[in-house]
Structure 1
Amino acid sequence: MSEVSIDNDAQTTQNGDGQEVQFEPVCIEVPRIYDSCGAKDCLRDLTVFFTAEDQDLVETAASVRVTKASVLTANISVDSVAFNRGYYAVDVVFYIAVGAEVYTGRGTLPATVTGLATASKRVVLYGSDANAKIFSGDKTPEIDASDFDSCNGAVSTAPKVTVQVSAPMALASSVEPVTAPDILPFVPEAVANYFGEELVVPTAQHILVTLGIFSIVQLSRNVQLMIPSYDFCVPRKECAAKTDDPCEVFSKIEFPTESFFPPSTADTDSGSAPFGCGCE
């Protein structure tokens, strides 16, 4: 890629070939990421809560095998850190749907059950500090009662939190007797509607799962940036007409060489894992 140097007083730039290219400075508003972190979490022995019908099968289960796990949603809250201006504590609660096959005895066919597991984590990130309130025409203004507390002075507005999470990996599962009473976590309405019926607390036996997930947490704020604008993004090619010939569509697919010749162990970069695991 050719290097571009921009003269703030001029309306032209020079590319790597020495040719001058005209541009127009424009101001745009974009979210700037002030801080972020990645995590590789090993979530040990999470209790799975089921509906009454599925829990009856768990109470008589001899063994269990987890078939799938999926993050349904996440509850996110952000609070400023006392005595550390610009830093925020982000609390995330993951609501994970766990599908499993329950075996009630030797030689019997397994029964499929689906339950809910929850996991929480907290991170502290830098999100800068801003006292200006932002209003937008496409959103209904929210009134915060703390804004009227004259004793606390100006109220800092929290940055936007974004959480990205991978599909959980089922690492272990077991059926264990209940030794201490389980506590049913708070279940949002959307999650409760997913299961259709009320979740119950295990009495005699419960299923424990260990899951591994990758996640990225980011704090961002909208900022205004001046950038050079060279031209509008006009399409350079014509949209291809849709064809109904399946053989013609198949002919455009490249041959999957990697499927027939998988990479060797030496070709993989296993020593550059970006995050540490909490399983040790």
Structure 2
Amino acid sequence: MAINFKKFVPRPGLVNKQGRLPDPSELVCVEVPKVFDQCLIKRCLVYADGTDTLTTDEELRSNPLVNPKRYLSSRDFKIKLSSIDKIPLRGDPNFKKIILNYVISFYSDYMDNSGVTRSEFFEINRTDIIGKFYCPDSIAQISASSDEECEEDSNIIKLEMVAEALAGEILDNEAGDEVLDITLGYFIVVKAQLLVQLLIPAYDYSTTPREACEEDPEEDPCERFEKAAVPKFYPDQNLDPLFPEYDETER
């Protein structure tokens, strides 16, 4: 059955079957950063004095604390790429050895003996090496004009991080001061991006949203309780099907 284009409203959504969308109204050329290669860095770091390793970092120890009682949590994790070295590999200069220097910063909170929450700022400097990374150079040279003329770098190395303080321990250091040691776990996705032109199907400009964003009206708690479904009194049973041909849709 043909799809009525006039009744079709372009919007973000999941496309999971053929024939659900009409033919596009045009093909559009857009300029976007395209990911050419990516890899994952996974680290679990603990404090250790001396040279940093794949599992230790000397900057995961705080300055002396003020009457600490217990560690609470860590927050506001950020990452900043300090510098990057790209070394072309012999045989194929599109593949490069990448040396990344980046900084991870965060705050750790602890409670002192008076019940006051205090914070310590951590900043660790890390270096990681990617032995072989597809990071081709742009063939075209790009220049853009604005109020101030500047050169645009079409080659981008991008870092995306998810980090968590896995543990925090208050202990005495060699000088007898109480300090906080953090166990840090993080995932970093390293992406090599290049500014390219892509051809994509387009339907129309996005539709204008409704005039006002509505708020949920306040509802009496007892009325909300009366409308609520009866809760389950027992947890789900962890049972395997008795027969291999068992199908949930046949229930």
Amino acid corresponding to residue 230 of structure 1 in structure 2: Y
Percentage of identical aligned residues: 18
Q: What does residue 83 of structure 1 align with?
A: 89
Q: What does residue 5 of structure 2 align with?
A: none
Alignment check: 8 A CA contact 1:69 1:170 kept: no
Alignment check: 8 A CA contact 1:178 1:206 kept: no
Alignment check: 8 A CA contact 1:47 1:206 kept: no
1:113 and 2:118 aligned: yes
Q: What does residue 152 of structure 1 align with?
A: none
Q: What does residue 142 of structure 2 align with?
A: 134
Q: What does residue 175 of structure 1 align with?
A: 171
* Structure 2 counterpart SS, 1:242: coil
Give the 3 Å change call, closer, same or farther, for CA 116–44 of structure 1 in structure 2: same
CA distance in 2, matches of 1:115, 1:39: 26
Q: What does residue 28 of structure 1 align with?
A: 30
- Deviation (angstroms), 1:225: 1.5
Give the 3 Å change call, closer, same or farther, for CA 30–72 of structure 1 in structure 2: closer
1:163 and 2:163 aligned: no
Instruction: Give the TM-score of the pair, scaled to structure 1.
Output: 0.54
**Aligned positions, number:** 201
Give the 3 Å change call, closer, same or farther, for CA 218–261 of structure 1 in structure 2: farther
Alignment check: 8 A CA contact 1:76 1:91 kept: yes
CA distance in 2, matches of 1:127, 1:35: 7
Unaligned 5+ residue runs, structure 1?
Answer: 1-14, 103-107, 144-156, 180-202, 267-280
Give the 3 Å change call, closer, same or farther, for CA 171–139 of structure 1 in structure 2: farther
Alignment check: 8 A CA contact 1:66 1:170 kept: no
1:219 and 2:219 aligned: no
Identify, as 1 or 2, the structure richer in strand. Answer: 2
* Structure 1 segment 1-280 matched on structure 2, within 5 A: 16=18, 21=23, 23-45=25-47, 46-50=59-63, 55=64, 57=66, 64-83=70-89, 85-86=93-94, 87=96, 88-102=98-112, 108-119=113-124, 120-124=126-130, 125-130=133-138, 132-138=140-146, 140-141=148-149, 159-178=155-174, 204-235=177-208, 238-239=210-211, 242-243=214-215, 245-247=217-219
Amino acid corresponding to residue 36 of structure 1 in structure 2: Q
Higher RCO (CA 8 Å, separation ≥ 6 residues): 1
CA distance in 2, matches of 1:47, 1:66: 16
Alignment check: 8 A CA contact 2:45 2:183 kept: yes
- Deviation (angstroms), 1:221: 1.2
CA distance in 1, matches of 2:23, 2:164: 49
Identify, as 1 or 2, the structure richer in helix. Answer: 1
Amino acid corresponding to residue 122 of structure 2 in structure 1: A
CA distance in 1, matches of 2:79, 2:21: 51
* Structure 2 counterpart SS, 1:69: strand
* Structure 1 counterpart SS, 2:138: coil
Alignment check: 8 A CA contact 1:99 1:113 kept: yes
